Structure 1
């Protein structure tokens, strides 16, 4: 993908308020592609003195060009109101200030998502497929907010959600320590529910 195409992706996903984490991830991808990531990850380069050699002076000129490009790129990806607030800051200060403004906001949605996930229970007569898909979706949303549960804990949460009818499946799964991803587990649970329904008929 060209640099222009990547920058268009960033422009299309401008930072407004509640999309900070998605915006910041995309920004870092664009800066890495353009070899500008050091402009926000490393401290500013000191201005050369009169005694520095030509190579140091040339490196500083290149730094100033990268500094300007990075700042313009960041500002262009912000809403107009955020542009006005940050136009006099350098790139590292812009990122630091935005993290203070929006980084902490992930705690509330993370709490709500985890609350819904940890309290998920499948009703006796409900289909297991949509229920587990919803749980997997909640886990993926939590991961985007920086809360990765891990494979075993994710499996445990899924196994704790079905009613007692699924107890034989859960015992068998735990005894055999089955190594599968969550979608394979989903298919196994659907097959087991189909077996239960067939035996009832």
Structure 2
């Protein structure tokens, strides 16, 4: 009987194959959080180094601090293990997860901010041109949305849909009106599928609506 790999081992393999490099910081951090949550120590990513215990600290307070130190050590080791050798050398003398994260944010914030600006500029300015294939245009806009989300820049789903529809030609006005009336819960994939139909069927749908 074959033995199924443990979920934590599967996630560790994914992280190991996608070690931290400058362009993938947001994706790496999201995967790391998933992995640490599975290990029940994800809270470490959002915690600061606790201060020293006061004199006469209770056993519960001492146990809590010892547990935090253990979890911080484990999370720190995972972070270092899932970095490139160069980044490991830069962070191996840092003793807390929060210190490593603060340094990584300083390293990659400017890159992330510039990337968000360029992608969002392209997304908000996209307009279809007469003769363009509508399915390819919608697919490109969905790709830009996914790139923004990878940079932890979330756009409300309804706004995503509205911006895609607003990028179409005025000749799609009746289609857009009917879309809002009949496809209020349509996903972006469902919206794309409308344009993946054969051209004759698409035209028939528009004429019927």
Deviations 1:25-84 (A, max 9, x none): 111111111122233322324445674455544444443332322221111112212111
| Contact 2:195–2:202 under 8 Å retained in 1 | no
Give the secondary-structure state (helix, strand or coil) at the position aligned to 1:96.
helix
| Aligned position for 1:108 | 114
Gaps spanning 5+ residues in structure 1: where? none
Aligned: 1:13 with 2:18:
yes
Structure 1 length-normalised TM: 0.81
The Cα shift of 1:192 comes to: 9.9
**Aligned match of 2:3:** none
> How many residues were matched structurally?
198
Instruction: Select 2:150's aligned residue among 144, 147, 150.
Output: 144
Q: TM-score, normalised by structure 2?
A: 0.79
Q: 1:165 to 1:74 in 2, by over 3 A?
A: same
Single out whichever of 92-101 and 162-171 deviates more from structure 2: 162-171
- Give the 3 Å change call, closer, same or farther, for CA 101–197 of structure 1 in structure 2: same
Matched, 1:75 2:80: yes
What root-mean-square deviation, in Å, do the aligned CA atoms of Structure 1 and Structure 2 show? 2.8
**Aligned residues of 2:26 and 2:152 also touching (Cα < 8 A):** no
C-alpha contact (below 8 Å) 1:40/1:91 kept by paired residues: yes
1:95 counterpart (101, 108, 118): 101
In structure 2, the CA distance between the partners of 1:157 and 1:50, relative to structure 1 (3 Å rule), is closer
Tell me if 1:126 matches 2:132.
Answer: yes
Alpha-carbon distance in structure 1 between the residues aligned to 2:194 and 2:11: 40
What is the alpha-carbon distance in structure 2 between the residues aligned to residue 114 and residue 29 of structure 1? 26
Who is 2:179 aligned against? 173
1:4 paired to 2:9: yes
Give the Cα separation in 2 of the matches to 1:52 and 1:165.
73
Residue 184 of structure 1 aligns to a residue whose secondary structure is helix
> Which is worse superposed, 40-49 or 90-99?
40-49
